[in-house]
Amino acid sequence: MIQHLGKAKGKILVNNRGHATMKMVVAVLLVLSTVNLALADNAAFRNVKVADARGKQADASLIFNESNKAMVVRLADRDLVSIPYSDVDKLSYEYSKKHRITEGALVMVASLGAGAVVMLTTSKSHWLYVDYHQENATRSLVLRMDKKNYKKILDTAQAQTGKQVEFLGDAKRQK
């Protein structure tokens, strides 16, 4: 903060206490930006769901690890799968809509009008299919992405793996 201390021989005397504080703030911002750049090699996306063979979905995180050059899917505190970028064969995106018939029927038990409204609404899902090979076997990973970050995931997947994302079904029209 700069304070006027008065005048001495026609000059204004100024206390420059804020100058040291400003230097400290700049130094802290510089350190934080350096730390942020060091951590930038990992792009993590939460609110992703992994579909298993029976169609059940589990909450997971999708991590693009730049230092290991691998795509990692983490369930709770363990890595479910780690796919090296070089093993990725194909990336595909699909967008689907469906009417909420089952949910509407359940709500209709409590309220007829509300249940009918729910039945008329649609749910939208964003899917990422990762086809890859591991130990001479072809494998596939299916992820349901959150509507808030699916575009970032697609961009990151394409940039990190070097593979074009193929748009399937309704996604071709949405593009």
Question: What is the pLDDT of the chain when averaged over all its residues?
Answer: 76
3 compared with 95, residue with greater pLDDT: 95
- Given a cut of 90, is residue 100 above it in pLDDT? no
pLDDT at 101 over 90: no
Q: What is the mean pLDDT of residues 127-145?
A: 91
pLDDT digits (tens, 9 = 90+) for 4-32: 555 555 555 555 555 666 666 666 555 45
**How many percent of the chain have pLDDT more than 70?**
58
* pTM (two decimals): 0.64
Q: What is the mean pLDDT of residues 144-148?
A: 91
Q: What is the pLDDT of residues 32-61, one digit of tens each?
A: 544 444 445 688 999 899 977 777 888 999
Between 80 and 123, where is the model more confident?
80
Q: Which fold has domain 41-174?
A: PH-domain like (2.30.29)
Give residue limits of the domains in the chain.
2-37, 41-174
174 pLDDT band, cuts 50/70/90, is low
DSSP letter string, the chain: -EEEEEEETTEEEEEEHHHHHHHHHHHHHHHHHHHHHHHTTEEEEEEEEEE-TTS-EEEEEEEEETTTTEEEEEETTEEEEEEEGGGEEEEEEEEEEEE-HHHHHHHHHH-HHHHHHHHHSEEEEEEEEEEEEETTEEEEEEEEEPTTTHHHHHHHHHHHH-PPEEEEETHHHH-
